[in-house]
Chain A
Amino acid sequence: MHIVVCIKQVPDSREIRIDPNTNTLVRQGVPAIVNYYDLHGLEEALRFKDTVGARVTVISMGPPSAEKSLRQCIAMGADEAVLVSDRAFAGADTLATSYVVALTIEKVAQEFGIVDLVFCGKQTLDGDTGQVGPGVACRLDYDQLTYVEKVVALDEKNHTITVHRHLEDGVEVVQTKLPALITVLTELNKPRRASLPGVLKAAQYKPVVWSTNDFANIDRSKIGLKGSPTIVSKTWVPEPRKVNTEMIDGPSPEAIAADVTKRLWSSEAASRLGWA
């Protein structure tokens, strides 16, 4: 088995603040991390490696600094890491990103061996679209299983995989044929810590780096800003809804409760609810 795990290095958006004076994002000092959904994809791949034996290749499209995230994946137990990095990739939306990620998987398959399974995260912390996984699956012509919270069975003989897909109102049990692409939820597993041998390997490790020139058949009109149909035209901090807050006070909880109840019953909401 050869499993490819797609990872993206992202700013930890939980740490991003808005400058109240300029209404712009403050990115300084925001740590870059591996998109945490992707670590769950890696963990699942590593479990296959531990149980049935698999080769795990981690790939990322990103700036040179994303090497750090790839090394973290090596430390956790991935066998190989590929960084696809080129200024020409900058400004990619999900259509252009999935093109390059799919090309990379194709090249990984040619150079490191046939790919059986691809893991992506449910979504990223920054772009947050969840569109790259389905895009890559379409381009590779793999069947896609999205929002997977459990891998139930892998049948190596019949080349099938069975999973639980999480939906709003329940869980769908789905089976498909390999090769397939799976996007994962955090419920899937608990990512392991790096092992000592892993850390030692990672310290020495240099990821394979590919740029546009390494892809023989790349169509340059499909990458980066040029290959991206969507354009972010503006970003702004939304005005909070203006409400006239009435603060209720009183001598006792009971008095306050009675006052609130009275106001509720004379409110528009009460008539909409058919109370009054």
Chain B
Amino acid sequence: MTTADKPTEFKVLGSTPLRQDGVDKVTGRAQYGADIRLPGMLYGAVLRSPHAHARIKAIDTRAAEAYPGVRAVVTAQDLPELESKVADLGEGSMNLRYQSNNILARDKVLYFGHAVAAVAAVNAHAAEAAAALIQVEYEVLPPVLDVRQAMRPDAPILLAELRTDELGQKGEQPTNVAAHYLDEAGDLEQGFREADVVVEREFTTAMVHQGYIEPQNATALVTADGQVTIWCSTQGAFGVREQTAEILRLPVSKIRVIPMEIGGGFGGKIGVYLEPLAVLLSRKSGHRPVKLTMSRRDVLAATGPTSGSYIKVKMGANRAGQITAAQATLIYEAGAYPGSPVGSAMGVIFAPYRIPNARVEGYDVVVNKPRTAAYRAPGGTNAAFASETVVDELAEKLGLDPLAFRLQNGVQEGDRRVNGVAYKRIGLLEVLRAAQSSAHYQTPLAGPNRGRGVAAGYWGNYGGKSSASASVNADGTVSLQEGSVDIGGSRTALAMQLAETLGLPIEAVRAAVADTDAVGETEGTYGSRTTFATGWAVYEVGQQLKTQLCERAARLWNVAAEQVQYAAGVFTSGEQRLTFAELAAQLDRLGGPVVASAAVQPKTWGPGFAAHIVDVEVDPETGKVQVLRYTAVQDAGKAVYPNYVASQMQGGAAQGIGWALNEEYVYDAQGRLLNANWLDYRMLVTLDLPMLETVIVEVPNPGHPFGVRGVGEVPIVPPAAAVANALYRAVGVRMAELPMAPGRLVAALQARQG
């Protein structure tokens, strides 16, 4: 670990206690969403569209309703019809009417797998059989599957009322282009005139899925008084509550969401799919609990994916190695409804570099594919694949080491992004230097068909609303209730921050994830925000506890509260001395329980930067790529729970390598998804990866009490570009399409041979 600036001394942060939910998770006891079983519970099934684009002319549910064991059938007619209204979903916003139509198609199905109706029955087999009996009459329409095709004036229109948001103004014509954005800085033409080397390239990337192993699930119970309880696997219980309330037009206070353990999300479990259906089915079946779970096929066909894209990049640099100009056009698939991450992609594309003259344009385009959802640094991997391979080519043309070229142009505090915003203290240069001096980069790579690639990456991170509360127990321990679901050790990272604040050992603090009735509003576990923002809430809770406890000690000692000091678990005032536990044991005599709660909405999140190094070996005859060695270097601000920071870096790298090499949605000409299973949607397996080395750099975020930056997202930004750059070094072809699948690589090699 390398540390920049003044390291702060911590006792708990930076240590590696066992995670508090660990034993439950290694013994099979942890309860994930689908593990729930309630008395009288019914099982649901969802009927999905076999067409990518069709008008629904009629739905006949009679046969399903008559099927033995069926208790309820619902269609879009059971959902309130909603006005267009935009709701913030975190990592992307969503028009609620579209959100409702995505839950159950109303007049049109817009993608293969679009939900059309749902059934609840006494067991899953009956529900599934009944769903298959629902008759839907479709008028099949031509599908639009490619963004550039969708932008043509003669393209079939998906959403009749859609008008382009043209740099803030609404367009007049029906269109598939939901939005057009632009960021500019300096004088682009002048910048290219100053360049001695210019590289211009076009890229395409395929739609990919988050690939969490746990399918979406939701169980709901509506009692006779209309009170709703939802158990589900979600990244954010409050988001589920809000979306369900909006979609079903219910007061938020009528809904309680109990977040179960969650088997991965990566952005894909922020928006709701099943929760409102489970509520409708429970209500319609006479107030029985209803559990809905998706099959893997449904997960791939109808949830999550992130945008495929078309990206054009042009960059110029002078002989001195200075980038003088950069231009990019990014066109992102939104899927069936507006809301691709093209905006955040625009923020990623040139983020690591000081570029005086730049222009970045983005288009959000609807196509007949599933509505896209956030996926880990949404839009970033595609964007960095394009820009970081062009940067690599520039460095090569200038005869410069790729890391040195990046260092020379790398941003630091005070430099401005293309959108004009100036960076605060950031750690890119420290990261690049750590990459240069890493064991990996210092070890030469030899051998035929082998190559080493590097790439840098940026992610802005996020703050948002978080709440927590804690109570002091008589035995000197502290119980923490926090609102962030724990997808990868965050309970423990939060308990650590409370322990640090209180000067207690981690064993004295126990964290629990609270439901929406038990803690203040907390945004989901996304945007690399949990350790940062909920950690801050926890810090505030700790400060309040300390203040209150000092008051109690003051009462005991009969001194003014200001005369009580607290440090390292001990209260003192003059000669008087009490440990935390000794004071806790006396609280009953000193005014009763000590409880504190805090809610924060910090705006001072700090961006994260990463640099990845990869060695590959290519079999030029088959196009197969083996990753030989991989190192991820990243600025974590402060690595609160270092094992789990490293694990985020490794996991992000692994997902990115899979995206680089194999993962893609394959549709036929009718828009039917051909690979909705894990044999054909190829996520990496154990044998595809080496050990993944990590170097954590710590440049504290000045905007957080402990210096924390988010760490979860940036590690997926560089891998595809790093692998592409390594492939080029190995076999001499620059790949411009993701995934760089074996067949494509062989074709590129053959094309080069002519």
Partners in one complex: no
